Amino acid sequence: MMQCDRCHKNEAVLHVTQVHNGHKEERHLCEKCAQETGELPQWTQSPFDLWDTDFFKSLVNPQQSRPEQAQCCPQCGLTWAEFNERGRLGCARCYEVFADSLLPLLQRLQGATNHVGKVPSRGSGVFTTNHQIKRLQQQLRTALEKEEYEEAARLRDEIYALQHEPPRKKTEEGQR
């Protein structure tokens, strides 16, 4: 749990990153401090209230009658309708149960369905390798479309080597 940088009492719900003259500044604020400092827009009481607008409801559920409406997570019991109301999934299994609807939603909201941000240095070896393989596979598709077969063969071999490389030890990944 990250605490508010201003009051140091409440959990931070708003995370702001600003870059000024090449210097990155991060602030983490609770809802109350964010409202007091004007960081939260006046038209909302909570960052999660955005899920309650017609615009976001249409993003989440563009077609009114979808099979997910009746679908229910077997682990936590969450339904798609409840997800629409809360804007949060109930458990990790929900990602699998509602995957057919979540992937297009994530694509519309974030522009991607896979993580493209920072990766913590601890335990990032497998993630970094998987990310590198996906990037190389995209380059391979592009090379094949351009009929650059020598480059495609090189990329294919590099992908194969990464897929069959033994797992690295913790010390090799930079873990402490």
pLDDT in tens, 149-160: 999 999 999 988
Q: Structural domain of residue 159, as residue ranges?
A: 125-164
Q: Does residue 25 lie in a domain region? A: yes
27-31, 34-38, 138-142, 162-166 — which one is most confidently predicted on average?
A: 138-142
- Give the pLDDT confidence score for residue 20 in this predicted structure: 73
Residue 62 has pLDDT above 70, yes or no: no
- Give the pLDDT confidence score for residue 95 in this predicted structure: 83
Helix axes 125-145, 149-163, angle to 10 degrees: 160
- Give the pLDDT confidence score for residue 43 in this predicted structure: 42
Mean pLDDT of 135-143: 90
Q: Does residue 169 lie in a domain region? A: no
Cα torsion through 107, 89, 46, 24, rounded to 10: -50
Q: Does residue 139 lie in a domain region? A: yes
Q: How much is the pTM? A: 0.33
Higher local confidence (pLDDT), 35 or 7? 7
Q: Are residues 136 and 104 in the same domain?
A: no
Q: Quickly state the pLDDT bin for 111 (edges 50, 70, 90).
A: low
Q: Are residues 101 and 133 in the same domain?
A: no
Q: Does residue 49 lie in a domain region? A: no
- Give the pLDDT confidence score for residue 151 in this predicted structure: 92
Question: Each residue of 51-89: b (16+ CB within 10 Å) or e?
Answer: beeeebeeebbeeeeeebeebebeeeebbbebbbeeeeb
Which residues, in sequence order, are CB contacts of 66 under 8 Å at separation 6+?
80, 101
Q: Are residues 38 and 14 in the same domain?
A: yes
Out of 57-66, 93-102, 121-130, 137-146, least confident range: 57-66
Q: Could you tell me the CATH number of the domain that includes residue 34?
A: 3.30.60
